[in-house]
Amino acid sequence: MVASFSSRGPSFTSPGILKPDIIRPGESILAGWPSNISPTIDLEDQRTVVFNILSGTSMSAPHPSGVAALLKSAHPMWSLAAMMTTADTLNNEGTPTTDQTQNPADVFETGASHMNPTNAADPGRLVYDLSADDYIPYLCGLGHTEDHIQVITRSHVHCSNKTSISEGELNYPSFTVILTSSGPSTITLKRTVTNVGVANSRVWSTKRGGPEGEAQETSF
């Protein structure tokens, strides 16, 4: 279940990128607790504990961080897209993930859905590879200064040498499109996939779905 306090999409800054990226455990997590602070954080509470039950970003962030570290240790050249392309779209009961109202959660609540560390380490499938350098033309296009971008890249950046791209042009594992009611429109998005499994071991197919009145075509 997606917690009520979990952040939702879409992204207003980059609407072409599906947000959130992925969901992970973050509610009622058993975590270490400092002995000089009571479990209730009440100054009148004199109890001390070694562990406490906590919820929030501070609890959810360590999970994907740890999975990312293990993934990079096992496959240094992989991008972290493997975590998104191998996420579980069903819960541990084999049914769709729900929100706090017990209704099926939509993609702006789950993103790629719940991360699966085991599948991420051995996806045996296609992944969307994306390096840190691939983000530079996109960041330049957002209007960030070179100094600001260099804080992220930790290397010299020259936006004047880059052709700016939109978020839809990133080789991101997910994307969203905005359709208007002003009339028919055609949107083309391209992705490059990398087979991280055994070469020539599988035949791939696509599965499409969408709202009424919307058509999709996939070409290779």
Q: What is the pLDDT of residues 184-208, one digit of tens each?
A: 778 888 888 888 777 776 777 777 7
The residue type found at 210 is G
Q: What is the pLDDT of residue 68?
A: 85
Q: What value does the mean pLDDT of the chain take?
A: 85
pLDDT of 55 > 90? The answer is yes
What pLDDT, on a 0 to 100 scale, did the predictor assign at position 40?
A: 93
Q: Which residue has the higher pLDDT, 51 or 84?
A: 51
- Per-residue pLDDT, averaged over 103-111, amounts to 91
Give the residue, 143 or 220, on which the prediction is more confident: 143
**Is residue 42's pLDDT more than 80?**
yes
pLDDT the model gives residue 54: 93
Q: Summarize pLDDT for 67-83 with one digit per residue, the tens.
A: 888 888 887 877 777 78
Residue 47 has pLDDT above 90, yes or no: yes
**Contact in structure between 129 and 171 (CB atoms under 8 Å):** yes
**CA gap 32, 51 in Å, rounded:** 4
Residues of the chain with pLDDT > 90, as a percent, come to 27
* Alpha-carbon gap, residue 155 to 152, rounded angstroms: 8
The whole-angstrom separation of Cα 118 and Cα 100 is 27
Cβ neighbours, 10 Å, residue 158: 10
**CA proximity to 192, closest of 209, 170, 207, 175:** 170
pLDDT at 123: 66
Question: pLDDT tens digits for 108-134?
Answer: 999 888 888 888 777 666 778 888 788
Query: What's the pLDDT band for 86 if we cut at 50, 70, 90?
Result: confident
pLDDT at residue number 124: 65
pLDDT at 77: 76
Buried b (16+ CB within 10 A) or exposed e, 17-41: bbbbbbbbebbebeeebeeeebeee
pTM of the model: 0.75
Q: Please check whether residue 84 is in contact with residue 107, taking contact to mean a CB–CB distance below 8 angstroms.
A: no
pLDDT given at position 118: 83
State the pLDDT at residue 1.
87
